[in-house]
Amino acid sequence: MAANFSPPTAAWAGLGLAAILLSGCAAAPPEAKRYVPPAVGSTVEYRVTNTGSFGSATGTMTIKVSETTFEGRTLRKYESAGGATLQSPAAGTAALLDPAGRPLMRYNPPLDFNFPLTVGKTWTADHELTVGASTRMPMKTSWKVEAYEDVTVPAGTFKAWRLVMTDNFGYRQTTWSMPDTVGMFAKRISERPQGHPQGAGTQVMEMTRLPAVR
């Protein structure tokens, strides 16, 4: 049976091509190309719930963002009443400090993200971990970008990258990170298993207020 077919006009053909191009753009996978930290002077709040080796405290933590020089590098400093985290330009933890500013742990190189972030990306890295003043040991981390998804916390619902990091000590950290937008994580779950050098325990941090300059 012959089909009654008329070739499309140029206008219809153009619209069809545009629809294909637009659908291709809409389907493009998300990508975080770099870390954009929150402004110096801003503060952010988290609700923190601890168990086991992390302690038993549950409450609100206020973190102030500043900039500091540490071992010859300019780093972002995220400071709370319990101490501070120093972060590299690639969103990686470089050091943890106690309330007096003394290093508790240092990571060389830092625990950097491997940009760009795309769903399914994995990588590994070797580090030297220094505990306290001089105790050094090798450390290996494995990373996976598991998803780009909605995460709901007290501060709201956000699009975030779900990254899982594990190390050779059995530690596991799942982070819903927003490195290229908010510059902070919306939620983080840290887990130490039985047999971990610091003992078993969990810590859950959920953002209660977005970074804001006061």
Residue 202 lies in a domain: yes
- Over pLDDT 90: what percentage of the chain? 83
Position 6 scores a pLDDT of 39
The predicted structure's pLDDT at residue 211 = 94
Q: Rounded mean pLDDT of 178-184?
A: 96
pLDDT > 90? residue 41 = yes
In-domain check, residue 19: no
Task: Give the pLDDT of residue 18.
Answer: 46
Q: Does position 152 have pLDDT exceeding 60, yes or no? A: yes
41: Cα within 13 Å, side-chain hemisphere: 2
Give the per-residue pLDDT at 133: 85
pTM given for the model: 0.85
Distance CA 58, CA 60 (A): 7
Total of domains in the chain: 1
DSSP the chain: ------PPPHHHHHHHHHHHHHHHHHTSPP-B-S--PPPTTEEEEEEEEEEETT-S-EEEEEEEEEEEEETTEEEEEEEETTEEEEE-TTS-EEEEE-TTS-EEEEEEEEE---SSB-TT-EEEEEEEEEETTTEEEEEEEEEEEEEEEEEEETTEEEEEEEEEEEETTS-EEEEEE-TTTTSSEEEEEEEE-TT-TT-SEEEEEEEEEEEEE-
pLDDT greater than 60 at residue 177: yes
Across 5-14, 17-26, 136-145, least confident range = 5-14
**CATH number of the domain bearing residue 52:** 2.40.360
Domain assignment present for residue 177? The answer is: yes
- Band the pLDDT of 214: cuts 50, 70, 90: low
Q: Is residue 25 a part of any domain in this protein?
A: no
Do the domain assignments include residue 204?
yes
Structure-derived torsion over alpha carbons of residues 80, 203, 196, 55, reported in degrees to the nearest 10:
70
Domain of residue 191: give its range.
Answer: 32-213
Q: Is the pLDDT of residue 9 over 70?
A: no
Residue 1 located in a structural domain: no
Distance CA 137, CA 178 (A): 31
Q: What is the pLDDT of residue 26?
A: 55
pLDDT class for 25, splitting at 50, 70, 90?
low
26, part of any domain: no
pLDDT at 45 over 60: yes
Q: Considering the chain, what is the average pLDDT of its residues?
A: 89
43 part of a folded domain: yes
Contact 35, 180 (CB under 8 A): yes
Q: Establish how many alpha carbons lie within 13 A of residue 28's alpha carbon, considering only the half-sphere containing its beta carbon.
A: 9
pLDDT at 27 over 80: no
pLDDT in tens, 58-73: 999 999 999 999 999 9
| Higher per-residue confidence, 19 vs 181 | 181
**Percent of the chain surpassing pLDDT 70:** 87
